[in-house]
Structure 1
Amino acid sequence: MEACYPTMKPKALESSLFLEENPKADPKTVASIILGGGAGTRLYPLTSRRAKPAVPIGGCYRLIDVPMSNCINSGIRKIFILTQYNSFSLNRHLARTYNFGNGMNFGDGFVEVLAATQTPGDTGKRWFQGTADAVRQFIWVFEDAKHKNIEHIVILSGDHLYRMDYMDFVQKHIDTNADITVSCVPMDDSPILFHVMQPSPDYGLMKIDETGQIIQFAEKPKGRSESDGRSNFPQVDTSVLGLPHDEATKFPYIASMGVYVFRANVLLDLLKSKYPSSNDFGSEIIPSAVKDHNVQAYLFSDYWEDIGTIKSFFDANLALTEQHLKFDLNDPKTPFYTSPRFLPPTKVEKCRIVDAIISHGCFLRECSVQHSIVGVRSRLDYGVELKDTMMMGADYYQTESEIASLLAEGKVPIGVGRNTKISNCIIDKNAKIGKDVIIANKDGVEEAERPDEGFYIRSGIVVLLKNTTIKDGTII
């Protein structure tokens, strides 16, 4: 879900929160913990065989590449990644991309994957019960003597799309002498924040005092009043955090991004001693900590998207193809990293391509691609029309002789067959789509589950399953 906040950084915000004259905190004293997330039910069926951070995005990336790249570009080289559900492909991607011998060079830093496991003792016999519990179960790692110089720990989510300098975040944390700092975005009182038909908003909301200290934190509080339709949560003066008065009037709420920085000793004390039975940062640890700790708000004013649902994931991907970008993956100063695949250039033969991203190693023959993403190793045959579609691509190639043999046997090869028309669709990896297929959801079905037929429909978007086969002439 896209946050409703100013896309440009206000001058007042720059002067108050990004003080260039202040020396930056030392990245060597900062570690990050990236949470691999739960079962990813809101992104199902994309998470049926992979962890949420392993879901492909933007043609050649995975969601985990966003916080990983932000850490690298921020100078943070001590990175822990906590995984649990369907973590095989995520672990494989991390090993291929972010290791010392084969991937990025981190110098004296490290990337450690901490996979959920069972250990002796009562607490070790259960899986992660929440974000805080996931960190608590590996507290012995952070207490290890080799990590004694870590003073601040940044907690990150694996399913957001944004570009952020975490060291600016840490600097604000240090400048305000905070125990905890919560990164937040300004928001208005729109249906995006407070759904009229739903009991709660999609974000944790905060109330701050005149110094920017958080005095109330509510994770997904009740939304609108039934009597007048207004928010039940108090508005705040966001000019305290640097927004100009006119912008502060438009955006009277601040919502948590689920991105935090803790003093390391405070984090360990909260998890071990003060709240040993609290399992979640947003709904338990932070709301309790504001009562007796200095918990500060850090205003983030650039693009940020929580892409934890099929609808938000789909919209965020297609937005990357537009001419007037809200978010650009191609920033040479702060690039996004991913696994080096060593693929050949894409081959395009007499195609019509409008507002699209075509990834590496694709073969496109006399087809039309409009407002769509075509993932790595994709094959689009003659007469194919792709519109408003996110195609993830393939994990491997089939040779021309293999494709010819499959077609001769009446089987369907990987890719999209001749004269197939697809719109408003997410095509997971290795999908085999035959010729003369139409995928358009012309009946406007909002929700459907047809796993035996190889697809689901979520929020009106057709989602083709990984490795599925759609036979010639099928109409969805």
Structure 2
Amino acid sequence: MVTLQLSSISPTNNSLLKFCHNNAKTPKKLQISLCSSFSMSNLQHPYQNLSFSPSENQNVAAILFENGSDCKLYPLMRRRSAGAIPFGAKYRLIDVVVSNCINSNIAKIYALTQFNSTSLNSHLTRTYSNVGLGKEEFLQVIAACQSSENQSWFQGNADAVRRFLWMLEDCSATEFIILPGYHLYKMDYQDILQLHHENRADITISALRSEKKHDKGFGILKVNSENEVVELFQEETAFPLVGRVENTKDNNCTTYASMGIYVIRKDVMVNMLREELPWANHFRSEVIPGALSLGMKVQAYLFDGYWENMQSINGFYQANMESTNIRYNFCDRDYPLYTLPRRLPPTRVTDAVITDSAIGDGCILNRCRIKGSVVGVGTRIEDTAVIEDSVLMGSDIYQEDLLQSKEKKKSMIPIGIGQGSFIRKAIIDKNARIGKRVMIINKDNVQEGSRKDQEYMIRDGIVIVTRSASVPDDTIL
């Protein structure tokens, strides 16, 4: 099976994908479907606005967080945060959570960024800040900054929210949903909000029923038979088994893995961060345990859907591999995934054999063979090259623009994959130059390693060629 990613359909700058209204099925969800790029209406009306159904859920705002420097995605995070890492041939990781917000009819979104945030801030601003949202809807990027009251950077997600309480208090939202910006999943946030309202909870935490692939950084919840959280185990303590049932005097309790997704009432958040816990830096390790100790009602929302932890190279790699076999469906009309429209030509395929792969826009694929791989935008693969079970993030520039003279062509390895090269179980970052007859196969089965010049690294047994690296002809890695 070949999965080809459709090219972006909007030719305009600083605008999101064009939208058509879909009035069918569930009225409480925002129903959006992509318009055909060949539609005459698109040609006549190049700007079509996002429209959100008026509902009580407009009183909810989302707060998105990047991850910090402790994430294990280096070297992909050498010059970018995790949310800005290219994913799935044409997207960024942050697009997943922003798309979940849009598909859940949440249009008030704050993105608090700090670590290596230049690329992430640029992507969010170019993609979502000028999409024709109404007066009450927006996505606002809030970068870490120093002030006369506080000269330090964000110390954690709770500290970041506290720094901007003056702004969040002015927002008309009565609840906030706090979201990590680097996991892969599809969730209708209206479900967790509904549970939060029905139980009149102060805080509701989304949790995974299964231990598989959970992010230990968010801890383990002990939940009673009423789905109330009674205890939160931290990463530093010995973890109980997820899904284990414990018999206590008061109730049967079960343990679940926290997803780091919190719904919190605005008045509770302000009181906790400003009055009760003015020193707290993290929701996971300080605010949530503090709320439990104060006797607040903390509810658990159990999530059964697909979810992938992006806190490691292996997790990122596996998520990309699963995107080629439709475990994460990019073609879901009810929950589309949005990203920056690019003015790129369609991918050109010349006598290539492609199976079980996702191919981005603007690629040039000559007489090569691609199997079980993700090929990012603008990738060029030359004759007889073989790509297997790999992630190619693509290129920001076309080779024709870069190499304008014969002299440059002779002295510089072109961006892309050279003739006769063989790549298996690798991640090739953007703008990498792979010469001719290069073998990237981890021939010694190394699990961890790197070169001093950091041109490539091996993490979790996966070879990573770093951004803009150059691998000479006939190299074997």
Aligned equivalent of 1:472 = 473
Q: Tell me what 1:56 maps to.
A: 86
* Structure 1 stretch displaced more, 269-278 or 251-260: 251-260
Of 395-404 and 61-70, the range deviating more from structure 2: 395-404
SS at match of 1:43: coil
Question: Is 1:235 equivalent to 2:235 in the alignment?
Answer: no
Query: For residue 171 of structure 1, what is the aligned residue in structure 2?
Result: 194
* Match in the other structure for 2:136: 108
Q: Tell me by how many angstroms 1:452 deviates.
A: 1.2
Equivalent of 2:307 in 296, 301, 304: 304
Q: Which residue of 2 aligns with 1:265?
A: 267
Which amino acid in the other structure matches residue 430 of structure 1? N
Deviation, 1:138, is: 1.1
**What SS does the corresponding residue of 1:206 show, helix, strand or coil?**
strand
Equivalences for 1:206-355 in 2 at 5 Å? 206-220=221-235, 222-223=237-238, 231=240, 235-236=244-245, 253-291=255-293, 292-322=295-325, 325-355=326-356
Which residue identity does 1:299 align to in structure 2? L
* Secondary structure at 1:217 match in 2: strand
Q: Write the letter of the residue equivalent to 2:237.
A: K
**Once the 2 structures are TM-superposed, how far is the Cα of residue 410 of structure 1 from its aligned partner?**
3.5
**Correspondence for 1:117:** 145
- Please give the secondary structure, in 2, of the residue aligned with 1:125: coil
* Match status 1:157 vs 2:180: yes
What is the CA-CA distance between 1:41 and the residue it aligns to?
3.8
The one-letter amino acid of 1:393's match is G
Instruction: State the secondary structure of the residue aligned to 1:342.
Output: coil
How much does 1:232 deviate? Answer: 7.0
Q: Is the 8 A contact 2:223 2:255 kept in 1?
A: no
The partner residue of 2:77 within 47, 50, 54 is 47
* CA distance 1:142–1:279, shift in 2 (3 Å): same
Shift of the alpha carbon at 1:440?
0.4
1:162-209 superposed Cα distances (whole Å, 9 cap, x missing partner)? 011111111110000000000011125x7x66xxxxxx9555111122
Residues paired across the two proteins, number = 421
Q: State whether residues 445 and 461 of structure 2, in contact with CA within 8 Å, keep that contact through their aligned partners in structure 1.
A: yes
State the Cα RMSD in Å: 2.4
Say if 2:241 and 2:255, in contact at 8 Å, map to a contact too: no
- Distance change >3 Å, CA 400–CA 285, structure 1 → 2: closer
Q: Deviations over 1:190-239 (max 9, x none)?
A: 7x66xxxxxx9555111122211111111325346xxxxxx47893389x
1:421 is matched with: 422
- Residue equivalent to 1:11: none
Change (3 A) 1:208 1:253: closer
Q: In 2, Cα distance between the equivalents of 1:107 and 1:40?
A: 37
Q: Which residue of 2 aligns with 1:228?
A: none
Note if contact 2:210-2:242 (Cα within 8 Å) is conserved in structure 1. Answer: no
Amino acid at match of 2:88: G
**2:368 is the counterpart of 1:359:** no
Q: 1:185 aligns with which of 205, 208, 212?
A: 208
Q: With the length of structure 2 as denominator, give the TM-score of the two structures.
A: 0.84
Q: Which of 147, 165, 179 lines up with 1:139 in the alignment?
A: 165
Q: Secondary structure at the match of 1:296?
A: strand
Q: CA deviation at 1:27?
A: 2.0
Q: How far did 1:108 drift?
A: 2.9
Equivalent residue in structure 1 for 2:155, among 112, 129, 134: 129
Identity %: 40
Q: Which residue is 2:12 aligned to?
A: none
| SS across alignment from 2:268 | helix
Unaligned 5+ residue runs, structure 1?
1-17, 194-199, 225-230, 239-248
Alignment of structure 1 residues 373-412 onto 2, 5 Å: 373-399=374-400, 402=403, 405=406, 408-412=409-413
Q: Given that residues 243 and 256 in structure 2 are in contact (C-alpha distance below 8 angstroms), is that contact kept between their aligned partners in structure 1?
A: no
User: Counterpart of 1:399 in 2: which secondary structure?
Assistant: helix
CA contact 2:210–2:243 (8 Å) conserved in 1:
no
* 1-structure distance, mates of 2:286, 2:401: 56
Letter in 2 for 1:109: E
Take 2:306 and 2:453, find their aligned partners in 1: how far apart are those partners?
A: 38
Q: Residues 201 and 221 of structure 1 are in contact (CA less than 8 Å); yes or no, is this contact kept in structure 2?
A: no
8 A Cα contact 2:416 2:432, kept in partner: yes
Post-superposition shift, 1:407? 6.9
CA spacing shift, 1:172–1:395, aligned 2, 3 Å: same
Tell me the distance in 2 between the aligned counterparts of 1:348 and 1:98.
31
Find runs of 4+ consecutive structure 1 residues off by over 6 angstroms: none
Q: What is the CA deviation profile of residues 76-120 of structure 1, one whole-angstrom value per residue up to 9, with x for unaligned ones? A: 1100000001111111111111022xx464563011111000001
Q: Offset at 1:454?
A: 0.8
Residues 365-405 of structure 1 deviation map (CA, whole Å, 9 limit, x = unaligned):
01000110000000000011000100000111121892773
Counterpart AA for 2:206? S
Residue 89 of structure 1, aligned match among 116, 119, 126: 119
Structure 2 spans left out of the alignment, 5+ residues: 1-25, 29-53
Partner of 1:184, secondary structure, is strand
- State the 1:450 CA deviation: 1.4
8 Å Cα contact 1:39-1:52 kept in structure 2: no
What's the counterpart of residue 35 of structure 1? 65
1:120-170 deviations in whole A, cap 9, x for unaligned? Answer: 12xx111111111111111111122xx1x2111000001100011111111
Q: 1:58 to 1:403 in 2, by over 3 A?
A: farther
TM-score normalised per structure 1: 0.84
